[in-house]
Structure 1
């Protein structure tokens, strides 16, 4: 395209999965899991090989994706802290410039459950405590506006989200995971399939006698009643309605799947699509040499019978459990891929593909047996913090990129491609220009934050980690104690040799610590702009 050619406003179709590692796709080198439709996007688009989360947990990273800002800056620093409604999202900005925006599927920008937080015990106060000003910010996170995604709110028949919702003008909500989802999805299931609507979830699932993995059951739903199909079908219907009702208006549709996040309940044929016996264990799943202290803590917890196997908290897994979970996860991913194929077919039927940028990514990865650990937590191994990012642009070129990318680059990239500037205070980098050409992030390192509610894996206070990933190294600094992690990803891609205390690596450690400090300084909040010199 000539640089003088008029720039069209492209559409955006964003596929988002949940807890999906980069290497769990064919286009990222996995020769077992079948993902032909996602692979086709990568073949005609740009595949980022070094794309990292800003936080390896759902809520904070989803907030970063929507705002282009680090979780510590948005205020949504961890699960349990909603994204403040004052936040400006890329959907807000697109709406101002004439786009129609929609979210179909999982949101999780606010809390989904009413469970009390896992706060550390506080010492008995000896001073009077304010009831009105208990927080440093004038925000009431218990207000109705922050209860919109709660399961208990959706139990009221008249409950609906207040639109626009974080900039999305249309929302079809399917919150939570596996066959335990609620929202608009559950209302549809109750109306259209009442015979199964009361028989979903773990209490109704059938445990397979041949499986030992926790959080795995045969769902009562078939593949066409399962949330993944519902989200795809709703997305297809939305595209059709948009084309009919708003012809020519650009759109941004986020199609957000709750899978392949645990529990592992792939429906129908997807349950046994992959044989656990054929699943190779990760190279680090069973290590004969010394594991790191946080891994050892989880191993002792499992050996002592204290591991929490039926919760979202990470746990040390046995070899057979890992094989089964990988097989079931692959089944869930293939189900997603089939549904992405359906949505893409509808896009082509409506003659929208030539004007639509299609994006595929995930909110974070999963340890999935790396170092013998399952799920997610403050162990910033590559399988958890590195996610897929595919940008298929009808005006762009195809190929792989090893530029360091961050999940908070999503919004700035979409806005720049639409020829719109990011709001002041956005920290992500646009990775493409308004004509689809590649832009370089210019990063020397990617910052990853984690601020946990829980005190575990050997720490006595809630775990806080700050990680810097550079072209070659991964440095992780923990708030508590003098212990940390330093890995040479070039010489040690499996992250087995921690160089933190290595005598010959102290100069490297110091230089990376300085780089981490400078990176943290660069990510200070610069919004709002000054209004005066004094």
Structure 2
């Protein structure tokens, strides 16, 4: 079946640590008018899952259309080999001008000099900054040229791994940090007290707009605007904080046992609200710059030829089960992310609840552009769910796999199943009680066997062996 699409260009808006439910259109506290408007003319996938609960494997997986295990990158700190075929290299080879502006995180960023050359991974333009103001990189160079007096106020502190590396190999750098020693991402909310057009999110927005303006009218392009926010630490201009009443922010639904444990770990209701305040403010700041980028597309007329994708590399617990950040067991707060795909030829809104995966994004982009999907990609195109009438397309597998070294997590419409290298298994009914920590007991052995079987079948289905050239 053919799909009528006029897409010639692609804009991917990529964020870090954005929960699936943090969109105003889904009833969230988050104020996201520009993303809500994007969803109102595209397809909002409300059951999209990433293939890793942490940054590096997830990002490599999404931009290659391959599972972390297939890439051999199932935990942090593993550099993506320079020869890896990415969405950018596939399109650049065929004449698209490709750019990544902001975070890429294909290389560990704590133990390297960010001013030195970086593998291009198929991108013609790389304006890279993995963290706001922490390293001498494109972001700091831009602020130095724009407003040098603000340089001393950009960084919220070195992440622990970077601090350890700089202790062993002292770096010759004049980067000023808010405090000495490794930072705690959730220790406190900090107001960005410099001009708001100098934040990291503002830089991503401004550089993306400048790049779009640099394109010739007949030049096709892939542009990735990659925001660090809403990843902690939270360093946000006051006006985005003012959008929210901290005392009115909803608290996580905790069990009685979690409530009893809450005081012992110091994660009080007040602290959770402070963290959520920073998180939602960071989301609204990104949304503001999304609006700027979309306005530029409309001004230039490129909105009529651009496929727009919005998503994130993983989610954030945000106090659920008294947890912060992300990781095992890749429950929905962590592995389920927002995904909006808006095709210029199909402006009608729709919401899809079939299970889809981040590995599906690259094949979808290529299909929309009329480019052959490499056989190495393990995802499937979602274009029918974007371009065909609602209810007429069923291309999702209804199973999502999230991988990490030593364990696998599988999400089906009703359950989450987790298997670990040690032989332990977990099974939660996420349909009956999405936030429950109580494992399924009724008919447990039969359900475990069923999910074990599903995981094996899915593993066999996505297998991609190296091609052979002759029988022997």
TM over 0.5: yes
1:532 corresponding residue in structure 2: 470
What secondary structure is seen at the aligned counterpart in 2 of 1:238?
helix
2:131 corresponding residue in structure 1: 176
Query: Is 1:337 the equivalent of 2:305?
Result: no
Shift of 1:220: 4.2
Match of 2:118 among 151, 155, 161: 161
1:460 corresponding residue in structure 2: none
Whole-angstrom distance in 2 between the partners of 1:36 and 1:389 = 16
Query: Is 1:224 the equivalent of 2:197?
Result: yes
Contact 1:417 1:435 in 2 (8 A): no
Q: Give ranges in structure 1 of 5+ residues lacking alignment.
A: 115-149, 207-211, 306-315, 452-463
Whole-angstrom distance in 2 between the partners of 1:465 and 1:106 = 27
Match of 1:518 among 457, 460, 466: 457
Match of 2:366 among 404, 415, 424: 415
Whole-angstrom distance in 1 between the partners of 2:134 and 2:242 = 20
1:426 corresponding residue in structure 2: 377
Whole-angstrom distance in 2 between the partners of 1:267 and 1:180 = 18
Shift of 1:340: 0.6
2:350 corresponding residue in structure 1: 399
Whole-angstrom distance in 2 between the partners of 1:435 and 1:489 = 26
1:251-273 alpha-carbon deviations (Å, 9 max, x no partner): 11000000000001112322343
Distance verdict in 2 for CA 1:344–1:442, change over 3 Å: closer
Contact 2:204 2:227 in 1 (8 A): yes
Whole-angstrom distance in 2 between the partners of 1:224 and 1:10 = 31
Query: Is 1:61 the equivalent of 2:58?
Result: yes
Distance verdict in 2 for CA 1:97–1:436, change over 3 Å: farther
1:200 corresponding residue in structure 2: 154
Contact 1:15 1:361 in 2 (8 A): yes
Match of 2:42 among 40, 45, 55: 45
Greater alpha carbon shift after TM alignment, 88-97 vs 179-188? 179-188
Q: Superposed, which structure 2 residues align to 1:81-92 within 5 Å?
A: 81-92=78-89
Match of 1:276 among 221, 238, 246: 246
What secondary structure is seen at the aligned counterpart in 1 of 2:451?
helix
Q: Superposed, which structure 2 residues align to 1:45-444 within 5 Å?
A: 45-114=42-111, 150=112, 152-154=113-115, 159-162=116-119, 165-177=120-132, 179-180=133-134, 182-202=136-156, 205=178, 214-242=187-215, 246-284=216-254, 287-289=255-257, 303=264, 317-396=267-346, 397-432=348-383, 436-437=387-388, 440-444=394-398
- The structure with the largest alpha-carbon Rg is 1
Query: Is 1:486 the equivalent of 2:427?
Result: yes
What secondary structure is seen at the aligned counterpart in 1 of 2:354?
coil
Moved over 6 A (4+): none
Contact 2:190 2:234 in 1 (8 A): yes
Whole-angstrom distance in 1 between the partners of 2:256 and 2:373 = 49
Contact 2:41 2:349 in 1 (8 A): yes
Q: Give ranges in structure 2 of 5+ residues lacking alignment.
A: 158-176, 180-184
Larger helix fraction of residues: 2
Contact 2:342 2:386 in 1 (8 A): no
Contact 1:13 1:252 in 2 (8 A): yes
Number of residue equivalences: 444
Contact 1:173 1:184 in 2 (8 A): yes
TM-score when normalising by structure 1: 0.78
Whole-angstrom distance in 1 between the partners of 2:451 and 2:97 = 44
TM-score when normalising by structure 2: 0.88
Shift of 1:85: 1.5
